[in-house]
């Protein structure tokens, strides 16, 4: 079994939003919507400042409230722990949107709920997700946590990292390297 995850190096990321466009074109995400996005946090007061830049998306949690609350089981765990939405089973009730602490889902203009898939179609072909493959700063690492020799396993052993809103208890699988 595999457990897919993503590590994003906040030290490398420059917040260019290339990941957002690459996802849009790869996955035909309509203009005006996005499956991933950029957050810039600035701390301190001039001139003592620090900043953290993050590319954010669905955290593909182990304990996903969106899967739990979905009345039709459209939201489900697919291989490698990836959380997906089966569009033709989705009734667009938005329970998952309300339950997601990360605001990672949106209503597609065709009526179903859409979100990051970790580009499972690419992963199956042995490729990185589109956002990872495009990033000019090489700030993202995608891989299998069950493989102790994968780059992501190694980087999570050697670097400090955090997850977002860990207190929500969802066991997110996008890690931010600090």
Residues that bind other proteins (CB under 8 A): 9, 11-12, 14-18, 20-22, 24-28, 30-32, 34, 37-47, 49-51, 53, 56, 76, 78, 84-89, 103-104, 108-110, 114, 117, 119-121, 124-125, 130, 133-139
Provide, rounded to whole angstroms, the least separation between the CB of residue 160 and other proteins. 14
Calpha distance 164→178 (Å, rounded):
12
Provide, rounded to whole angstroms, the least separation between the CB of residue 41 and other proteins. 6
The nearer residue to other proteins, 114 or 144, going by C-beta atoms, is 114
Task: Report which secondary-structure segment, H or E, holds 132.
Answer: helix 130-134
The nearer residue to other proteins, 29 or 145, going by C-beta atoms, is 29
Contact between 48 and 64 (Cβ < 8 Å): no
Contact between 39 and 56 (Cβ < 8 Å): yes
The nearer residue to other proteins, 68 or 121, going by C-beta atoms, is 121
Tokens of 32: 């005006």
Calpha distance 109→132 (Å, rounded):
26
Calpha distance 144→125 (Å, rounded):
14
Provide, rounded to whole angstroms, the least separation between the CB of residue 157 and other proteins. 17
């Amino acid at each position: 079994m595999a457990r897919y995850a993503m590590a994003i190096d906040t030290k490398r990321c420059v917040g260019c939003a290339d990941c957002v466009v690459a996802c849009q074109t790869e996955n035909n995400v309509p203009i005006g919507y996005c499956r991933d996005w950029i957050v810039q946090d600035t701390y301190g007061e001039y001139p003592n400042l620090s900043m953290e830049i993050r590319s954010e998306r669905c955290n593909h949690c182990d304990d996903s409230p969106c899967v739990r609350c979905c009345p039709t089981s459209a939201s489900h765990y697919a291989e490698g722990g990836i959380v997906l939405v089966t569009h033709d089973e989705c009734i667009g009730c938005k329970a998952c949107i309300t339950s997601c602490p990360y605001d990672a889902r949106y209503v597609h203009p065709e009526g179903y709920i859409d979100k990051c898939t970790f580009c499972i179609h690419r992963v199956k072909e042995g490729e990185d997700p589109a956002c990872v493959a495009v990033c000019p700063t090489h700030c993202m690492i995608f891989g299998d946590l069950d493989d102790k020799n994968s780059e992501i396993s190694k980087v999570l052993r050697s670097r400090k990292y955090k997850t977002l809103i860990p207190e929500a208890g969802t066991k997110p699988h996008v890690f931010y390297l600090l």
